[in-house]
Structure 1
């Protein structure tokens, strides 16, 4: 039996609680992706940020972890303007969560873009949750599921989730106005990669990073390799130096514990 409205409301309440109790802001979007995958459930969730006028965009974060190894940015660059959901939001300004089945025609299911997505990430049925974005841009969570489509109960959940996701999105945008000398988006760093960079700066090993983030060592290694590539560096020492010089890492303040009066 699919979850009803009461179940959706309970899941959204639990999701909101998880967000406000998360101590590391960098982890909020990865946390959201993981919870969306589990709550609906679906096979994958990805946050995309697109410049529709320029025809460019990036996948900011997603779940599960194997998604980071897929050519998401290449798929976006090649096919974003032919994707029925993205095209609908770009042309209408609609902010309602919709499924691919509601807007796609036979040309999509028989076309190159669908085949490429199917081969790369198993794309089949999709549901989009559009978020607030400046004119000319699209910011949306795309949920994918294989085998069967999304139900009315899934749409009910998505409508509730949209308000919560948009609140997180607005908070992130407000905070970014007060950015330091380095902006992670200038280097196309995902929130997870930025978290890995911070842990590298704290001296953690790859295995320790994988344990801290709850991912496989191979996944942590992949994040580190992506960091090196995006920052144009080749080792940990250079990563720490780049993070400090570019303003991408601010050391946590040292808390002095006093034993009391002597």
Structure 2
């Protein structure tokens, strides 16, 4: 806990809980990266999801807004430039890391020169956030100046929240049907739980998939039953399929 800014950590915890109820999964990472600027005192923050073997992917969230002209094609450039964080995450390493520690010839690296020139960034801190085999998901924080030990400590504590949010967005994209959840009074989190129920997962299985407790899953299920006017899993899933809420 040495060097941990507890107040900032608690603020981001509250923030991520609110983001989980955001009805637009495509915009959630914009909110997260904006908050990271304040919480970690950074000059830039990006979230990327990419396939390093194919050299494809995209930046799904970034802050501040002045990065907007640069994010198109940024992932592809960093793959071509052999950004060390991509290889670090692809090799299965998961600890938050100062990128300078991965690159002994920092001043000669093309990605570093570009970051200094275009963004005024002299140091970067990488936070892997899990992902499917062959994929790299990472948050990259930038600053004009060194990241201190306290910053890395806070990043370690924030990493599970960021990883859980990445998993939530992936599941919500995969599971949501054509009907808008708001039409039935369901929140995005409740829709995710409903979709996993429709796939036959038990409460314990849903809890493991979403990194939440079984009690929280049961609380979501009770709200789903109430909103859909049902009282058990089978009738709920049948109604949800008929309504187009799940596939």
Please state which band the TM-score falls in when normalised by the shorter chain.
0.5 to 0.7
- 1:119-142 CA-partner distances (Å, limit 9, x unpaired): 222232111111121111101111
Partner of 2:168: 171
Distance 2:20 2:33 in 1: 15
Distance 1:114 1:166 in 2: 26
> Secondary structure of 1:153's partner?
helix
Partner of 2:77: 78
> Secondary structure of 1:54's partner?
coil
Q: Which runs of 5+ in 1 are unaligned?
A: 182-262
Please state how far the C-alpha of 1:49 moved relative to its aligned partner. 1.2
- 1:63-101 CA-partner distances (Å, limit 9, x unpaired): 11111112x3434313325111222112x2011111112
Partner of 1:133: 131
Distance 1:55 1:25 in 2: 24
State the TM-score, normalized to the length of structure 1.
0.60
Distance 2:134 2:29 in 1: 23
Distance 1:172 1:74 in 2: 22
- Gap change, CA 1:73 and 1:27, over 3 Å in 2: closer
Tell me which moved more, 21-30 or 57-66: 21-30
Correspondent of 1:114 among 93, 108, 112: 112
Distance 1:4 1:112 in 2: 33
Equivalenced residues, count: 176
Partner of 1:40: 40
Partner of 2:152: 155
State the TM-score, normalized to the length of structure 2.
0.64
> Secondary structure of 2:62's partner?
strand
RMSD: 2.3
Please state how far the C-alpha of 1:156 moved relative to its aligned partner. 1.5
Partner of 1:60: 60
Distance 1:76 1:25 in 2: 20
Distance 2:93 2:72 in 1: 24
Distance 1:56 1:24 in 2: 23
- Gap change, CA 1:52 and 1:25, over 3 Å in 2: closer
- Gap change, CA 1:11 and 1:75, over 3 Å in 2: same
Distance 2:59 2:97 in 1: 19
Q: Which runs of 5+ in 2 are unaligned?
A: 179-247
Q: Is the 8 A contact 2:47 2:62 kept in 1?
A: yes
> Secondary structure of 1:133's partner?
coil
